[in-house]
């Protein structure tokens, strides 16, 4: 992750820190246009490493709002079973019925703006619903469990 930190610092980002080997990076930037910033970061990675990843940037305010809007606060005590799917945009016509049809056992989900929340008490690896979220919502997603979201938020507040 040292190379990624250096690459992003060379792109003008400040206070760059990575969270484990997860692809999550916390940084500060004077650029306020997160879409432009995401394109620049993706392009820099393409130039340096030969592949162009999808980059989704959330402000610390957006992370705080996602955490505050968690519809399953009682699930926070078991953070590996609570997942937040951050969406590239608010879905125009999400197929929540298809996801409901895939729901198994005690699974619960909610869509709040550009965040999809999934409480999967039997584990996300066993969840057929989790595997179909991106297709049913019709927008690119990236998911993190509650522990990762909380740690990334703490890093952003440092």
Angle at 92 between CA 73 and CA 89, to 5 degrees: 65
Q: Report which DSSP code applies to 81.
A: G
Q: Mean pLDDT of all residues in the chain?
A: 95
pLDDT band at 1 (very low <50, low <70, confident <90, very high): confident
Considering the entire predicted model, what is its pTM?
Answer: 0.93
Q: In the chain, what percentage of residues exceed pLDDT 70?
A: 100
State pLDDT tens for residues 45-94.
999 999 999 999 999 999 999 999 999 999 999 999 999 999 999 999 99
The residue with greater pLDDT, 20 or 37, is: 37
The rounded distance, in Å, linking the Cα atoms of 33 and 15 is 18
């Amino acid at each position: 992750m040292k190379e990624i930190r250096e690459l992003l610092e060379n792109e003008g980002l400040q206070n760059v820190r990575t969270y484990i080997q997860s692809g999550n990076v916390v940084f500060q930037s004077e650029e306020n246009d997160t879409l432009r910033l995401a394109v620049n970061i993706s392009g820099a990675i393409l130039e340096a490493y030969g592949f162009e990843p999808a980059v989704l940037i959330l402000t610390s305010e957006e992370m705080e709002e996602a955490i505050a809007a968690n519809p399953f606060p009682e699930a926070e005590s078991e953070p590996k079973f609570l997942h937040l799917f951050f969406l590239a945009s608010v879905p125009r016509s999400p197929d929540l019925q298809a996801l409901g049809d895939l729901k198994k056992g005690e699974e619960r989900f909610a869509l709040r703006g550009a965040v999809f929340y999934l409480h999967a008490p039997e584990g996300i690896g066993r969840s057929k619903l989790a595997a179909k979220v991106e297709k049913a919502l019709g927008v690119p997603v990236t998911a993190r469990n509650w522990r990762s979201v909380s740690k990334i938020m703490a890093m952003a507040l440092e």
